Structure 1
Amino acid sequence: MELIPTGIPGLDKALSGGFSRGTSVLIAGNPGTGKTHLAIHILDNNMKRGLKGAYVSFAETKRQFYENARESGVDFDELEAKGLFRFYDMLTMPENEMKDFLDFLIQELVEWKPDIIVFDSVTVLGQIFGTAMLRSFLHSIIGRIVNTLNALAILIDEIPYGEKRVGFGVEEFVVDGVIVLEMERQREVIKRYLTIPKMRGRKITKSTYEYVITEYGIDVITTPELKFTGREINTRERIKTGIPEFDELIGGGFYRGSINLIAGPTGSGKTIFALTMASNMAKQGLNVLYVTFEEVPGALSETMERLGLADHFRVVSLVPEAMTPLQYYALIKNLMNENLSDVLFIDSISAMKSHMDERDFIRALRYLQLLAKEKDITFIMTYIPQDPNALPSAGFSTLMDSITILDYELPKKSGDSIRRYLLVLKSRHSEHKAVLREFKITRGGIEIV
């Protein structure tokens, strides 16, 4: 059976490849769950590969729809100019003319032969004509389009707040597939769930997934049951930090696909340590992405200029927000894919933890660990522990391939300088040296004494 993919990797995986041609699918959910957002990105993804799409709207005018779509990154003006898209405005159609226009619409669609037709929303159609007309529309009109064109019909439906019933209670029994979008608030976090209770002709191994709405569209996350990739990790291939004495301490450098922690109290030099390594790695020709939750890019640039470090890598400054572990996973994954990163720095994961409970924080790090192994990307993260001595017993320490602890000693008399120390507590698959070493912050970055 020929499939029409959604173009959303996680959703296509959930649907075993996509939707079957010649079927009708209902997308239902409360207001604000992203139903229209999902539909327009399925259309856009398929029109980019040459399929034709039509959108029949009972909820928005053409101008409103096109403007809202542009905010979601989809330009329907361009697609319409290419002859790949048509929009039908049913909102401004007088009720006494709508039935005749629907007959005309069906005839035009049959002649134009779109591959995908979206009806938004059948709830409005039911409110105008009643349940009996809605049932007839779903059975006969949608059936005629789907069967004649061997197309995919996507119907959007509202679920009122506080109710489980979809629309008028008849839609889900007529269509071939149902996708339900839900959201719930847990403290500061909004969690969104996509459920597939019904999908004829497709093998559905798991029915519920978390999804996020991003500037790229909708990302359906399939990570909760992720297992380590079967690819063998080459621990002999090392990425040098550019600090020779530190490379020696960790067994020759960080190996690809490893996840590494630089931990220490405020003022111990974690950010400068990370910036020094990022600069040195970029000089080696590696594609380095530096994500900071605690500094603006301008402040980091000033620090690097003061230290004489090259800034030939991308810095992304993010405001730490309340997100689920999967939302952080999706954010980091999209940034890495966008930058084709070899090495990713996160400064610091303490900012992530401030918006999570311990269980979710460990789960977020678990997903990042799996992402590092899957993509063969080296992660280096900074962290402020409440008690450095308790770090080895922290729940997430087992997820780390290496842990380096930084600390400092305050001057005891006037004229003395602060003294900083580091200890490589752990370096998996390495003959590391667990000896205390003093280091200094100099022009050029970190210098181990």
Structure 2
Amino acid sequence: MSRTGIEYFDEHILKDGFPDGSLILVAGEPGAGKTIFSATFIYNGAKKFGEKGIYISLAETKSEFYESMRQLEMDFEELEKEGLFKFVDLVTVSEETIEKEIELLMNEIVKFQPKRIVIDSISVFAQVLGAEKTRVFLHAMLGRFIKAYNSTALLIAEKPMGAEKIGYGVEEFVVDGVVILRYESFGEVTRRIMKIPKMRRRSVERPQYEYVITQNGIEFLAVPELKREEMEYTVEKITTGIEKLDEMLDGGIYKGANVLLVGMTGTGKTTFSLHFTIANALQGRKAVYLAFEEPVDQIIRAAKNYGMPIEEALNSNLKIFTWIPESKTPVYTFLKIREIIEEVKPEILVIDSLTALRQHMEEKELAKMIRYLNLLTKANRVTTYFTLNEETSFEVVPFTGASTMVDVIIGLKYQVKNGNIERKMAIVKARGSNHSRKIHRYEITDKGVEIYE
């Protein structure tokens, strides 16, 4: 077995990785991540399993390859010095010299005896050598070697953008497995999908898997799994940071619960969230505030305007992260949040706001991401606030994709009356709590949120 070293791929997609002695076709459009996936297979083979690898490139030079991989924290130069890796540069090979180069190449392979081989790309190889001679090379020469030495070879193939056909007659070669990396566009963003239509001696459970390319290389969406004990509510409650709201919630929020703050612009959702994060940070709980609409300095300034001790919180347990979700897929956003949770290990989390995510995602994609976040935060016992910028009537909560999954819903609204803004709030839902059923009036003052009967 040839594990890729990509944990989710080896554990959930192909159990134990690729079968030994296999020719695997890795096909996809330019930019889909074929080179990164194949290079990771070689790198992890050497680094994690001590297996030799050889990378045969007709696409980029050795220096270009080493530099681009170094940016993904894969140091192939180090592996080469350790005798675990060889790079073969065939970028400048011509039709006149290709057959001689193949002979030298096979001599090098037999001498080096790698367990892992990548040809990047077989499409260019077939262009130069021709389909028939490429077939002979793959089966009579390379194929014979990998069967004899129980090695695994990945053959990268270029697939024209949007085309179903792989191209250059490569699909006609008899390979043991096919991995297809492709783009799917929805809204403003492009999603990366892996499909495995063929893999001998392996069963693939799902028709496709979503992945992203980060500074860590290829990362797949791993859906969190909750054990029964993690799904049960704890009796411990924590503060909202607003005394009157704690009273309305019968003592605060259950630890690990998900809260949805929904209301129009100007109803104070961010202010409620700042009360929550700062108060808990000062009580010794690690807190994370994720902002998708405002920069860090603006959040700090808002807290100071309400007299909240945000500097003290930042110097103790509060961390603020901001990024713009535009052109980012739900998977990228989920993985980024998961990374923050794994690194910081917060007890408190604010995601402000779902509206910013919603503007760049399809509703069903956002609902799926919220479900995964719900599972992730509960598995890690993280009490979470989500904010949603939308009008609510207290009877009907918009965007049921979020409202059906959270434990607490707090509706916020305002109206202009006699030239004054009158704000009202209600706890629409609070699982397991004897919460207030009244509509309460509240104001945003220089001390933050003030709630009245």
Tell me if both proteins adopt one fold, taking TM over 0.5 as the criterion. Answer: yes
Judge conservation of contact 1:191–1:324 (CA < 8 Å) in 2. Answer: yes
Partner of 1:25: 24
Judge conservation of contact 2:291–2:351 (CA < 8 Å) in 1. Answer: yes
Structure 1 residues 75 and 302: CA distance shift in structure 2, 3 A = farther
**Cα separation, 2, equivalents of 1:436 and 1:4:** 58
Equivalent residue runs for 1:432-447 within 5 Å? 432-439=435-442, 441=444, 445-447=448-450
- 1:409 Cα deviation after fit: 5.8
Judge conservation of contact 1:172–1:178 (CA < 8 Å) in 2. Answer: no
Give identity over the alignment, percent: 36
Q: 1:348 aligns with which of 328, 345, 353?
A: 353
**Cα separation, 1, equivalents of 2:105 and 2:208:** 35
- 1:442 Cα deviation after fit: 5.8
Query: Is residue 398 from structure 1 mapped to residue 369 from structure 2 by the alignment?
Result: no
Partner of 1:247: 246
Structure 1 residues 215 and 124: CA distance shift in structure 2, 3 A = same
Task: State the secondary structure of the residue aligned to 2:412.
Answer: strand
1:110-168 CA deviation, whole Å, 9 max, x = no partner? 33333322110011111111111110111123223322432221110112245423233
Judge conservation of contact 2:263–2:392 (CA < 8 Å) in 1. Answer: no
Query: Is residue 423 from structure 1 mapped to residue 410 from structure 2 by the alignment?
Result: no
Judge conservation of contact 1:138–1:174 (CA < 8 Å) in 2. Answer: no
**Cα separation, 1, equivalents of 2:320 and 2:78:** 33
Structure 1 residues 135 and 375: CA distance shift in structure 2, 3 A = farther
Match of 2:139, as an amino acid?
A: H
Structure 1 residues 252 and 5: CA distance shift in structure 2, 3 A = farther
- 1:297 Cα deviation after fit: 1.0
- Provide structure 2 residue ranges, at least 5 long, that are not aligned to the other structure: none
Partner of 2:382: 377
Task: State the secondary structure of the residue aligned to 2:413.
Answer: strand
Higher mean alpha-carbon deviation, 351-360 vs 148-157, is at: 351-360
Partner of 2:153: 153
- 1:206 Cα deviation after fit: 1.6
Structure 1 residues 330 and 419: CA distance shift in structure 2, 3 A = same
Match of 1:27, as an amino acid?
A: V
Higher mean alpha-carbon deviation, 433-442 vs 173-182, is at: 433-442
- 1:59 Cα deviation after fit: 0.8
Partner of 2:169: 169
**Cα separation, 1, equivalents of 2:214 and 2:194:** 15
1:46-68 CA deviation, whole Å, 9 max, x = no partner? 43314333211011111221222
Task: State the secondary structure of the residue aligned to 1:4.
Answer: coil
Structure 1 residues 99 and 357: CA distance shift in structure 2, 3 A = closer
Partner of 1:136: 136
**Cα separation, 1, equivalents of 2:45 and 2:442:** 56
Task: State the secondary structure of the residue aligned to 1:282.
Answer: helix
- 1:380 Cα deviation after fit: 1.0
Judge conservation of contact 2:187–2:360 (CA < 8 Å) in 1. Answer: no
Structure 1 residues 76 and 227: CA distance shift in structure 2, 3 A = closer
- Provide structure 1 residue ranges, at least 5 long, that are not aligned to the other structure: none
Match of 1:278, as an amino acid?
A: T
Question: Aligned pairs, how many?
Answer: 443
1:67-102 CA deviation, whole Å, 9 max, x = no partner? 222344433334334443321111134544443333
1:146-191 CA deviation, whole Å, 9 max, x = no partner? 2243222111011224542323335564221110111132332213
**Aligned Cα root-mean-square deviation (Å):** 2.9
Higher mean alpha-carbon deviation, 338-347 vs 72-81, is at: 72-81
**Cα separation, 2, equivalents of 1:166 and 1:341:** 46
Judge conservation of contact 1:366–1:399 (CA < 8 Å) in 2. Answer: yes
Task: State the secondary structure of the residue aligned to 2:68.
Answer: helix
- 1:199 Cα deviation after fit: 0.9
**Cα separation, 1, equivalents of 2:250 and 2:432:** 8
**Cα separation, 2, equivalents of 1:443 and 1:83:** 67
Structure 1 residues 144 and 296: CA distance shift in structure 2, 3 A = same
- 1:228 Cα deviation after fit: 5.7
Judge conservation of contact 1:249–1:433 (CA < 8 Å) in 2. Answer: yes
Partner of 2:277: 278
Partner of 1:199: 199
**Cα separation, 2, equivalents of 1:177 and 1:10:** 15
Judge conservation of contact 2:355–2:388 (CA < 8 Å) in 1. Answer: yes
Match of 1:29, as an amino acid?
A: G
**Cα separation, 2, equivalents of 1:131 and 1:334:** 45
**Cα separation, 2, equivalents of 1:207 and 1:222:** 15
**Cα separation, 2, equivalents of 1:81 and 1:253:** 59
Match of 1:422, as an amino acid?
A: M
1:321-355 CA deviation, whole Å, 9 max, x = no partner? 14554444334333333433333211111111222
- 1:27 Cα deviation after fit: 0.4
Partner of 2:236: 237
Query: Is residue 37 from structure 1 mapped to residue 31 from structure 2 by the alignment?
Result: no
Structure 1 residues 382 and 211: CA distance shift in structure 2, 3 A = same
